[in-house]
Amino acid sequence: MNGSREKEEMSKIEGEKISAVLFDLDGTLVNNYEGIYSCLNETFDKFSIPRRSYQEVVSCVGGSILLTIKKLLGDVPNLNDIGQYYAERFNDHALIGLKPLPYVAEILSALKERGKKIGLLTNKAQDASEIILKHLGFARYFDSICGTTLHSVRKPDVEFTQRALDELGAAAGESLMVGDSQYDYKTAKNISMYSAMVATGATDIDTLRDIAPDALGVFPSMKELAKGVWNMDI
């Protein structure tokens, strides 16, 4: 679908079917890369591992912290020990450089006013996710917050997504996943849920279009996603 026809169809889907929205966190609602980078620096120093550049870290974020570390370091025998130390230390870094992405607060407020159920579905640790949402004043908009532990199930595992939907009391066919990566798209695809993608994280818009062919749309910003999916003027 293209142009006005695409917008018309998305509006129809939103109005008739979508009652719940699951949001990713990093790269979708917030920029938390400085905190991640800072905690990885401390972790690598602890294990006498050379630091990686900021851009290297950002390009590897997604999936899980263990996957991020593996992307950065390769197959290291003490991966779990490194990941465990990071997990134990991250809360002290969580607010470093933390920024909400533009228009997120307005979008969450508008969705709440429209009576939508709102959930967070993130591969970030549960406690860190709650700290971030509370600090930014976003927690009040969420009916459910689903984060992870170091070795728990995570996106795009159907079990994890179903848990989030159950907490919202929502059916997959009436729900939308909003995210910025292949993990978010696969999360929706694996459970037959709608998806909409935003290129505000580590994945550029052309790559997102390639990996998310069935998404309602791939947008350069949350403002444009809100207009395209919910016909919001913010």
Residues designated as active site: 24
Say if CB 148 and CB 65 are below 8 A apart.
no
Say if CB 121 and CB 155 are below 8 A apart.
yes
Q: Which two tokens stand for residue 36?
A: 């991640």
Q: Which helix (H) or strand (E) holds 169?
A: none
Which residues, including other chains, have CB under 8 Å from residue 75's CB and lie 6 or more apart?
Answer: none
Distance CA 77, CA 183 (A): 25
Instruction: Report which of 45, 83, 52, 49 is spatially closest to residue 66, judged by C-alpha positions.
Output: 83
Instruction: Report which of 5, 8, 3, 11 is spatially closest to residue 230, judged by C-alpha positions.
Output: 11
Instruction: Report which of 205, 105, 116 is spatially closest to residue 168, judged by C-alpha positions.
Output: 116
Q: Alpha helix locations (H) across the chain?
A: 3-16, 33-46, 54-60, 65-73, 79-89, 104-113, 126-136, 158-168, 182-190, 205-211, 222-230
Distance CA 167, CA 163 (A): 6
